[in-house]
Amino acid sequence: DTAVSQTPKYLVTQMGNDKSIKCEQNLGHDTMYWYKQDSKKFLKIMFSYNNKELIINETVPNRFSPKSPDKAHLNLHINSLELGDSAVYFCASSQVGGSETQYFGPGTRLLVL
């Protein structure tokens, strides 16, 4: 069974569009994250949610809005997509107070044309 899943795996869209990426984890973890990996493969944290509450919000344009309907889901909505948003977006989860090891999803490859 997949521990952390993301949909879609690939997303190609036009500049200016609004799109969402979904993430679900079945590990029972209480913390979920969104990371952006650029073309140089640098991983940068964007958001972290603990029990549906935002606890980390790095310097990210407010066009990016995470939504956590429950602690097993953390979706990422992006408004007015720009060329520079093209990247791979990874969802991850961990259990705070446990090992705190983060488990990553397979990634969503976003290409903005």
Return residues touching other proteins (CB under 8 A): 4, 40-45, 48, 56, 90, 92, 99-107
Phi-psi region of 52 (alpha: psi -120 to 50; beta: other; left: phi over 0): left
Determine whether 97 is exposed, middle or buried from the number of CB atoms within 10 Å of its CB (0-12, 13-18, 19+). Answer: exposed
Neighbouring CB atoms inside 10 A of 68's CB total 18
Task: Work out how close the CB of 10 gets to other proteins at its nearest, in angstroms, rounded to a whole number.
Answer: 10
Nearest-approach distance from CB 41 to other proteins, in angstroms: 5
